[in-house]
Amino acid sequence: MAIYHCSVKIGTRAKGQSAIAASAYRSGKKLKDNETGLISDYTQKKGIVYSEVSLCAHAPSEYQDREILWNEVHKIEKASNSQLWREFEVALPKELNLNQQIETVRDFVKGLNEQGMCVDWSIHDKQDGNPHAHIMTTMRSIMDDGMWAPKSKKVYDLDENGERIFQKIDKTGRKQYKSHKENYNNWNDKERIEEWRTAWEICCNSRLDEHNHIDHRSYERQGIDQEPTIHEGFVARKLVAQGKTSERVQINEEIRERNKLLKKLAEGLKSIGEELKSLIEQKGSVINAGKQRITDLLERRIRTVNKSDGRFADRERESERRVKKAAPSESDIIVRQSKLERRAAEEFLRDKETDSKQSGRFSEFIRNGETDTDSFIRQSQAKVDSATADRKNRDAERERLAAEESKRIREAEQRAREIEREREQEKNRRSRGFSR
């Protein structure tokens, strides 16, 4: 997977640095410092696969020679603390071939040229898995006449009428006005660093597959719970290749181990979260399915009753409204239906008795013993008793399942708390390790 690296630093006279020596080392050339007479010869340096000088608009064509360019920089930057050059060190994606890497750097350098910088850049690749580029830029702009621009300029402060603000008359009798200095360009503004880092990301991603895209933002800014490794550098990798130890390499190995543990903890938390979500969804689906089934049974039973006896239609519609509102169980429905059937049978019996009395045959009707209606009533009562017992059993089973489900949820929450506690302990150990 492609990695992102783009560091920005400045070379200065205050540190005893030389732009000419730096350019010679990065380009693998032999350059002479006209100011000191020193010659920097790095023609035997290995691993330099490409080098180029790119000029901005209005720059003299002779600046295409890096020796002339940087000697002119030394000539204009005379102060002992002068900033001589700015350098971008960028990691090149190994997923790109050399020609693609050159074009990627050239795209980035073109943006710097458009801002007014002259750029001296080289690509290093020792086939050790660390291809990178050194991009040296000038610190001053070049004016339309090809001359170096000042790093700052004097700007007079103006009052509300647009007039300069008088301060005093100096010893020579000249008037002094209030003023301040402004940088000729904005290259030293902090915002530029973010813009340049973003520009390098865009140049690389334009040639990388989507799954290999890089991001200039830190893991924290990306919302990734992972600790970044540190830059090892050529010297550290060379020591390891020789069988020696390197502190920076060891630090990265420890960071990778911690990241593996963090990843494992994150996966555990994710698995628990998904399990909890699944349990909640299952519970909801079971409840909804039960409610729907009860509603369907209720509607079917009520339609049956209405068909058998129209006299109970109004009563049943009211019962349907109440039952739907309360969402009764299937046992409740059977009990209610059986009671309705029993009442219908009793009314039928009373009608029968009335008819028998009127016809003078009631006594004979009684002597005949048990009628079909009596049997029907007993059957209805049996249905009521059976449905009542079934309802109790169903309620007990529902309570048992609810208790088991509650227990499973509590166990899952306990596991989540334990993993979170382990994660906090690991973070505390890691912070204590850094403090030491």
Distance separating alpha carbons of residues 429 and 433, to the nearest angstrom: 6
Q: How confident is the model at residue 376 (pLDDT cuts 50, 70, 90)?
A: low
Model pLDDT, residue 305:
52
- pLDDT at 359 exceeding the cut of 70: no
Which of 242 and 433 is assigned the larger pLDDT? 242
Decide if pLDDT at 348 tops 70: no
* Lowest-confidence region among 131-135, 198-202, 221-225, 282-286: 221-225
156-205: pLDDT as tens digits: 788 888 888 888 888 888 888 787 777 788 898 888 999 999 999 999 99
Work out the percent of the chain whose per-residue pLDDT is above 70. 71
**Is the pLDDT at 75 greater than 90, yes or no?**
yes
Between 156 and 298, the higher pLDDT residue: 156
Average pLDDT, the chain: 79
pLDDT at 34: 95
pTM of the model: 0.52
14 by DSSP, 3-state: which?
A: helix
Give the range among 125-129, 139-143, 302-306 with minimum mean pLDDT: 302-306
Report the pLDDT value the prediction gives residue 366, as an integer from 0 to 100.
45
Instruction: Label residue 137 left, alpha or beta by phi (over 0 means left) and psi (-120 to 50 means alpha).
Output: beta
Question: 184 CB contacts (<8 Å, ≥6 apart)?
Answer: 140, 141, 149, 150, 151, 152, 153
240 or 210: which carries more pLDDT confidence?
210
Lowest mean pLDDT among 48-52, 232-236, 397-401, 419-423: 232-236
Average pLDDT over residues 395-420: 83
Rounded CA-CA distance 158/23 in Å is 44
pLDDT digits (tens, 9 = 90+) for 217-228: 755 555 555 656
226 or 132, higher pLDDT: 132
> What's residue 139's pLDDT?
95
Per residue in 82-117, pLDDT (tens digit) is 999 999 999 999 999 999 999 999 999 999 999 999
User: What is the rounded (10 degree) CA torsion for 386, 388, 392, 393?
Assistant: 20
pLDDT confidence of 262, banded at 50, 70, 90? Answer: low
Tell me the backbone φ, ψ of residue 79, rounded to 5 degrees.
-65, 150
Q: Is the pLDDT of residue 362 over 70?
A: no
Among 206-215, 295-304, 408-417, which stretch is predicted with the lowest mean pLDDT? 295-304
Residue percentage of the chain with pLDDT more than 90 = 36
Average pLDDT for 389-411 = 82
- Lowest pLDDT segment from 44-48, 119-123, 334-338, 412-416: 334-338
Q: Is the pLDDT of residue 393 over 90?
A: no
Q: Is the pLDDT of residue 36 over 50?
A: yes
Between CA 23 and CA 50 the distance in angstroms is 13
Residue 231: is its pLDDT beyond 70? Answer: no
- The Cβ of residue 20 has, within 10 Å, a number of other Cβ atoms equal to 24
- How many other CB atoms are found less than 10 A from the CB of residue 85? 25
- Residue pair 377/345 in contact (Cβ under 8 Å)? The answer is yes
Which pairs from 68-73 meet CB under 8 Å and 24+ separation? Answer: 69/118, 69/120, 69/138, 70/19, 70/20, 70/23, 70/31, 70/120, 71/20, 71/33, 71/34, 71/35, 72/148, 73/19, 73/138, 73/139, 73/140
Which range among 247-261, 268-282, 387-401 has the greatest average pLDDT? 387-401
Q: Which residue stretches of 360-371 are H helix?
A: 362-367
Range in 71-85, 227-241, 286-300, 301-315 the model is least confident about:
301-315
* pLDDT at 390 > cutoff 60: yes
Q: How sure is the predictor about 365, in pLDDT bands with cuts at 50, 70 and 90?
A: very low
Cα 265 from chain centroid (whole Å)? 17
